[in-house]
Amino acid sequence: MYLIVDIGNTRAKVIVVDGRSIVYDMAVEQLSRASVADVVDKYQDISHAIVSTTRGNGEEVKALLQELVESVLLFTPATTPVPIANAYHTPQTLGADRLAAAVGAWAMFPDSDIMVVDFGTAITIDYVVGGTYLGGNISPGVTTRFRALADYTACLPLCEPTDELLEYGRTTREAIEQGVMRGVEHEIRGYVEAFSKENGKKRIIFTGGDAKYFVKRIKNTIFADCEPIIMGLTAILEYNAKRY
C-alpha cells in the first residue's frame, strides 16, 4: 500500500492506494500529524509515501511523514526521476501537479497521445505525445475569472459556475455566468479541435473541480476527476521504489 499526500492551492489530499485502486481519500484545508497518523494506523500495510505540493512546504511534510512511514519520497519535477521523458525547458518552475497528471494520464493510456485539461484555480492544458511530456499552457480558472470580475470592477457581482446553457444572458448575473462558462468552453474547444487534427490516436482527459461542467459541453473527452494526478504520483513512487 502507498500513501499519497497531494497538497494543492486550496486543500490537501491524503490518499491510500492499494495497487491501482484508491481505498481511502480524505481532503483537508490544513494537514496535521494527527490526521495522517490516524490513516497510517488504520492502513498498517503502507510501506511507501510520496509528497507533492504546490505550496512550497514539502520538506516539512516529508519530515512529518518520515515519523510515520518507513520510506518517503518528496516529488519535485526538477530532481525526481519519472517514467516518461520530460521536454520542459524549466523543470524547476514546473508545477508538480502538472507533471504528475501527465504521468498519470500516460500510465492510464500508454499507447495514446494525450491532452490533459485540469480545471482548478488555474486551467492547465498539458500534452504527452509519444511518451514525452511536451509542456502546455496555463490560463485563469473558472472561479478565478469570476473573482477577477467582482474584484476589479465597481458594480459586478461575484458569480459561480453554472450548468445552465443560454445563448444570451438577460440579466447581469446571467451575462457574467454565461460569459465565463462559455468563454472557457470555447477556449478549451479550440485546444481540443487543434489537438484532434494533429493526433489520430488521442485521448483527451478532463480533471479538476470544475471539469464536470465542461465534459458535458465538449464531446469526445474523458472525465477522470482526480485520478490522473493520483495515478501519476503512484506511478512515480513505484518507479523510484524500483530504482533504489
For the chain, 244 residues long, the average pLDDT of each consecutive 10-residue run is 89 90 89 91 93 85 92 95 97 94 95 94 96 97 98 97 95 98 97 90 92 91 82 95 73
Identify which of 167, 150, 170 has the alpha carbon closest to the alpha carbon of residue 159. Answer: 150
- Give pLDDT, residue 104: 95
Q: Which domains does the chain have, with CATH numbers?
A: 1-74 (3.30.420.40), 108-225 (3.30.420.40)
- Give pLDDT, residue 220: 84
Torsion of CA 195, 200, 205, 206, to 10 degrees: 40
Q: How far apart are CA 215 and CA 188, in angstroms?
A: 11
> Regarding beta strands 222-225 and 202-207, do their DSSP bridges make them parallel or antiparallel, or are they unpaired?
parallel
Name residues whose C-beta falls within 8 Å of residue 152's C-beta, 6 or more positions apart in sequence.
none
Q: How far apart are CA 227 and CA 236, in angstroms?
A: 14
The angle formed by the CA atoms of residues 141, 142 and 146, to the nearest 5 degrees, is 115
Residue 90, CA distances (Å) to 20, 53, 151 in order: 30, 17, 32
Q: Catalogue the active-site residues.
A: 97
- Give pLDDT, residue 244: 58
- Give pLDDT, residue 226: 63
Q: pTM (2 decimals)?
A: 0.90
